[in-house]
Amino acid sequence: MAAPALAARVRDVVEPVAVAAGLYLEDVEVHGTGPKVVVRVVLDLDEDELGAVDLETIATVSREISDALDGIDELDSEYTLEVSSPGTSRPLTEPRHFRRARGRLVTLALHDGRTVTGRLTRVEPAAVTVEPEPVAAKKGGPTKARPPVDVALADIAHGRVEVELARAMTVDLGPEDDDDEDED
């Protein structure tokens, strides 16, 4: 079976497993032949959900996908299965990608050469709204808020989610975050 046909067959088998787990099947790739076949499956949450697919869910669904793939005669029994979520490196190219990135810091490269960076606050069918980060005033003065920017999806060449390490360090992780304090 040719690679595109095999990938389509894999997609047909994997999609019901993803849907049953409450996930969206983002992508399926099949590379190689014989015992060197690699099947890559990318799963995501529904576009209306915030957050990311947790590792426990990926592990559980991976086992279910493996069981389902074992029924495809065209796959050698020694294929390698890789199941992942898109992560922040996924480019924002489809409306559902922008909906999944709501609340995140994004950089949008526009077709006219400009870029827009800020927090993605709204996604409509034909446009997104980005709130630029406030600009620090000179000499320790107050920060200046900048107005939101509406950008038509058709004007976006590509977009990406920015990794916010400083913000991640300030996120409250809940009760487990306080364990060290209890030992004093």
pLDDT digits (tens, 9 = 90+) for 53-81: 899 999 999 999 999 998 888 886 688 99
Pick the CATH number of 95-170 from 1.10.10.10, 3.30.70.20, 2.30.30.100, 1.20.1260.10: 2.30.30.100
Q: How confident is the model at residue 2 (pLDDT cuts 50, 70, 90)?
A: low
CATH 2.30.30.100 domain locations along the chain: 95-170
Q: pTM for this one? A: 0.72
CATH 3.30.300.70 domain locations along the chain: 3-84
Q: How confident is the model at residue 1 (pLDDT cuts 50, 70, 90)?
A: low
Quote the CATH superfamily of domain 3-84.
RimP-like superfamily, N-terminal (3.30.300.70)
**Residue 86: CB atoms within 10 Å:** 19
Q: How confident is the model at residue 178 (pLDDT cuts 50, 70, 90)?
A: very low
Higher pLDDT, 124 or 173: 124
Query: Position 62: which residue type?
Result: S
For residue range 92-143, list pLDDT tens digits in order.
Answer: 988 999 999 999 999 999 999 999 999 999 999 999 999 998 776 677 667 7
**Residue 124: CB atoms within 10 Å:** 13
First-to-last CA distance in the chain?
Answer: 64
CA dist 131 → 25, 34, 121, 145 (Å): 30, 50, 7, 9
Predicted local confidence at residue 167, as pLDDT: 55
